[in-house]
Structure 1
Amino acid sequence: MFKQYENAGNFNARVYLHAAFGTNPRPWPHWVWEQIPPLPEADILELGSGNGLLWQANANRIPDAWRITLSDFSPGMLQAAKTSLAPIHDRFDWNMIDAISIPYPDASFDVVIANHMLYHVSGLDCALAEINRVLRPDGLLVASTVGSGNMREMTELALAFDAHSSYPGIAYGIQSRFSLDKGASLLRNQFEPIDLRLYPNTLIVTDPNAILRYLLSCNGLFDGLIILAPEEIQRFSAFVSHIDDDHPFTITTSTGLFLARKTNK
C-alpha cells in the first residue's frame, strides 16, 4: 500500500471523481468541517492528511487560536499537502506519523481527525488506543469512512467488464476493517458517546475517462489488488465510451463520519 501513496496522483484521481460529479451542494470537505463543534482555541491533529484538501477548502475558516499538526505516513503525501497549503504553510506543524505509534505525550490534543484512513491501518485497535491516549479528557475523534454498498454500481461495472475483477476486494478491505456499519462497535472500547453522521450524495458521471482514472488509481489499494492492468486500458475505454452528458453513469455512495468522545474512565 505504501507504493499506492508514494505521491498524491492516485489519491487525487479518487477525490476528483467525487468532487466533479457529486450532487450534494455541500462539498465533502466543507461538510466534514461543519460537523466539528465550534472550538475557539484547540490543538488539532490530523492523521493521514492526504493532499491537505480539508484545510485547503476551509482555509478562510480556520480559527486563529487553533494549533494544527498535519501528518501522514507517506513522505510523498506530506509533501503534496505542503505544496497545496503553501499560502498558509506556517499555520501548521508537520510530521510523518504511523497511527499505531503517535509520537506525542498523553493528552496533547483536543481533536484528532482521521479522514478516510482508518481502514488502511492494519493494527486498528492499537491506533484507536493511541488516538485515545493523545486526546485530552472529553477530546473528540472525527473519523470518516464509507458503508456497505458504497459505489455498488462501480462494482457492477467492473464485474460486467471482467467477471473475475478484483474490484470487490476493495469493498471487502474497507468493510472488514473500519466502515460505517461496524465502526461504532470498534470505537466503543475507547470512545463514548459516538455519533454517526451521514453525507447524502450521488455521483452523476458524464466523463468515461474519470471512471478509467478512478479504477487505475485503485490498483494496489489493498493487498496488492490489481483492478485494471495496463494491457486492459484500451478495451475498458471502449467498454465505457457510451458514457457522456446524455448517457451518464450514476453511482450511489454511502459516506459519513463518526464523532467519538474520549471515554474518561
Structure 2
Amino acid sequence: MDAWQDDDALADQYADASNLAARQVLHARFSTADRSTHEWLFDQFDLPADAVVLSLGSGHGALWTANADRIPAGWDVTVTDSSAGMVMDAMEALEDVDREFDFDAVDARDIPYPDDTFDAVTAHFVLSHLTDADREQALREIRRVLKADGTLYAATTGTDDLAAVYDAAAEYGDRPADDGFALENGEAQLRERFANVERREFEHALRITKPEPVVAYLLSLPGFDGDAAFALEDAFRERIGDDAFEVERSVGLFVASE
C-alpha cells in the first residue's frame, strides 16, 4: 500500500501541521499566480448567504485563515480533520478570526452528522489519500450529509504535478503515488454519486530561486530521507543556476452536485 493511503503513515504525516506547512511554504513563496491556491479555491464557492459548510481534511485551516475577511457572516462552518492534533492547530490558527467556527475530529469515511445537513462539503486534497474502497465509502458519506441541492468541492492535483521537482530528486527518494483521485480520473469517480461534475483548473507554476524550501518540501514527504538533505540542496542549486528553476503545476477542483 502506498504511504499516502496507509492509515498509520498518514497519522504520522499529519499528527500536526509541520509537514503540511513545509509544503505550503514552497507554493506560497514561489508561485507565479496573482493569488494563492486557497484564495482561488474560495473564489469557486457559489453558496447562499446562510450556507452550512463542512470542511473535511482541513489541516491547520489554511483555506479559512487565508480568506477570513471574505467568509459571509451567515455561514456556519465546521472545520474538521482526521487528526486531533491538526484540529488543535486549526483552532489555534483561527482563534483570532472575528467569527465563530465549529471544530471536530472527523474521518471522511464515517462522518458523524445527520443526513441532509450541509449546503457544501469541501474535501480539498483529501480523497487521493484514501484507498479505492475507502474513497468510495467517503463519497457515500459526503453524499449522505449533503442536502439534496448541496455541492461538493474537491480539490486535487494532476498526475504530472511538480514532475520537474520529482525528476530532479529521483536519485534521492520516491514520489508517493497519490493518483487514486487525480484531475485525470476524479470526474468518473464522482459521477457515480453526482449527476453534475465540473472540473476547473488553477493555472500557475513555480519559479524556484532558492533550494532550501524545495528541499524542506521533499523531506516532509514519506518517500524522502533527511540524510539526503545536502545532496538534494546541491541538486536543486544546480537546477536553479543563475536564475530560477521553472516548475509546472497541475492543480484543480471538482464541483459536484445533483
Aligned counterparts of 1:256 and 1:53: Cα–Cα separation in 2: 17
Matched with 2:250 is: 254
Which residue of structure 1 aligns with residue 186 of structure 2? 183
Q: Say which of 128, 140, 145 aligns to 2:151.
A: 140
Q: Is 2:71 aligned against 1:62?
A: yes
Unaligned runs of 5+ in 1: 220-225
In the TM superposition, what is the alpha-carbon distance from 1:246 to its structure 2 partner? 3.1
Distance in 2 (CA, whole Å) between partners of 1:243 and 1:76 is: 36
Note if 1:233 corresponds to 2:214: no
Which residue does 1:166 correspond to in 2? 174
- Cα deviation for residue 57 of structure 1 reads 1.0
Q: Report the alpha carbon displacement of residue 188 of structure 1 after superposing the two structures with TM.
A: 0.7
1:27-80 Cα shifts (integer Å, max 9, x gaps)? 111111111114211110000011111111111111111111010000111111
Which stretches in structure 2 are left out of the alignment for 5+ residues? 1-9
Q: Deviation per CA, 1:64-114: give whole Å up to 9, x if none.
A: 111110100001111111111111275111110000000000001000001
TM-score (norm 2): 0.92
**Within 2, Cα distance between the matches of 1:24 and 1:232?**
30
Once superposed, what is the RMSD of the aligned Cα atoms? 1.5
Counterpart of 2:174 in structure 1: which amino acid? S
Please, which of 128, 140, 147 is the counterpart of residue 119 of structure 1? 128
Task: Give the percent of matched residue pairs that are identical in Structure 1 and Structure 2.
Answer: 35
Is the partner of 1:196 in helix, strand or coil? Answer: strand
CA positional deviation for 1:139: 0.5
Show the counterpart of 1:208.
211
**Offset of residue 120 of structure 1:** 1.1
Q: CA deviation at 1:148?
A: 2.0
- In the alignment, is the contact (CA less than 8 A) between 2:82 and 2:106 conserved in 1? yes
Aligned residues: 247
Matches within 5 A, 1:19-30: 19-30=28-39
Give the secondary-structure state (helix, strand or coil) at the position aligned to 1:191: coil
2:157 and 2:251 in contact (8 A); partners too: yes
The 1:132–1:38 alpha-carbon spacing in structure 2 relative to 1, beyond 3 Å, is closer
Partner residue, 1:223: none
Give the corresponding residue for 2:80. Answer: 71
Give the alignment partner of residue 94 of structure 1, picking from 69, 91, 103. Answer: 103
Q: Does 1:108 align with 2:104?
A: no
